[in-house]
Structure 1
Amino acid sequence: MHGESVIEVCFEPAGNTYELPPGRRVYARASLRQVAHLEIVYTPGVVTVWLPGVVDVLDHDGRLLDTLRT
């Protein structure tokens, strides 16, 4: 689509970053207790997700990309 570009999604405090082309997404799977500490910060071109603990990052099809441990 015109005007759309790659966006970065960064998971902190682990520091893992994923580049997503237009129309793609990633999902974070974490315990309900962890979600109480969830923070999402948007700046142009970057979404930063603060989610401490063990977090599974899944692609748009639900396939596991990484398991982050902080």
Structure 2
Amino acid sequence: MFRLGCVFFCFIALSGCFETTETKTNSVSWYKENDSERKQKLIECNDNPGELENTPNCINAKQAELQLISKGKTTRF
């Protein structure tokens, strides 16, 4: 019984050690179609580039912004 309690305690203690900050990755085309979400994501990414710069959503939002700028459909956020 004691071992089971120790295992359970370790499981609970370690469960908070792994964090997930992003749950869904949005595509470049999604960010191109959703202006406010793209702009908000770009603000978040630029505010914390050390942690977020290389995340899939930051990369996709930046790529969408660059594609829209090259077509003259938006200005920098």
* TM-score normalised by length of structure 2: 0.23
**Structure with bigger RCO (C-alpha 8 Å, 6+ apart):** 1
* TM-score normalised by length of structure 1: 0.24
> Greater strand percent: which structure?
1
